[in-house]
Amino acid sequence: MTSHATAFTIACLQNRADNTDRGLDECVDLARAAREQGADLICTPEFCHRLYIDGDVFETGAAAQGEHAAIGRFRSLAAELGAWILVGSVAVREADGSRRNRSLLIDDEGAIVARYDKIHMFDVTLGNGETYRESARFTPGEYAVTADTPFARLGLSVCYDLRFAALYRALAKAGADVLTVPAAFTHTTGKAHWHVLLRARAIETGCYVVAPCQYGLHGKARTYGHSLVVDPWGEIIAEAGEDAAVITATIEPARVADARRRIPALDHDRTFEP
């Protein structure tokens, strides 16, 4: 774990994207409000730019990274505000035509300093007509990513990754003390699993978990909201409702080390036969 002694303020933005620029405009307004509240690092949800689902229509506003209007706007915004921004994810089109669900970390001068392509694709059938096949539209990533900031080392992930504990254990062992989980969690699964999974990932790793989530309707899909910040002991220290919101929390890196001293589970892994 990297050593960061100074507490800092993190913000989760909770917006609702559709098939227009509405979501992006809302994010920009919320980010300005977060900075006014003292946020040093501002985090947006998954597909914060565009998200619209209606049957076979799945609109996420994919574009090449260098030409992506939302990425350019977030870079300018970070420089304007003098704050770091984690763009939870946007849809990026690669040169070969494939698409990635990509999270981007932007520094306070507007430079992209890290990127993570979502590894686990949301291919599920929930019943009641809710079926999602993310792999039909996106190519999964292959690498876990940590990123250093002046405040803490981040471990990057996106939404459905949350269900795969091994990823977060690997990020923690690579030095992450804050795990980011930007999401567009469905309302169905959010009610059942969102809080318990986020708290479990914090407890298992001794990390802070920061999880901005979209809210409301996106065509016929509905997301859960309830953006959360969870401390390394598994306590929820900030939570939004199911509408547009900014939540902030104080992150104290020393508490990561303290939680791991009290329960050093990351040091106790053993190999075993299945």
87 is written with which tokens?
């763009």
Within 104-240, where are the H helices?
Answer: 165-173, 187-189, 195-205
Q: Which candidate, 228, 154, 231, 240, places its Cα nearest to that of 194?
A: 228
Q: 3-class SS at 157?
A: coil
Q: 3-class SS at 268?
A: coil
Q: Is 213 a catalytic residue?
A: no
Q: Is 191 a catalytic residue?
A: no
Q: Which residues lie below 8 Å from residue 88, measured CB to CB, with a gap of 6+? A: 43, 44, 45, 46, 47, 48, 103, 158, 180, 182, 183, 212
Q: How far apart are CA 6 and CA 174, in angstroms?
A: 21
From the candidates 12, 27, 159, 213, which is the catalytic residue? 159
Q: Is 46 a catalytic residue?
A: yes
From the candidates 26, 46, 59, 252, which is the catalytic residue? 46
Question: Which residues belong to the active site?
Answer: 46, 118, 159
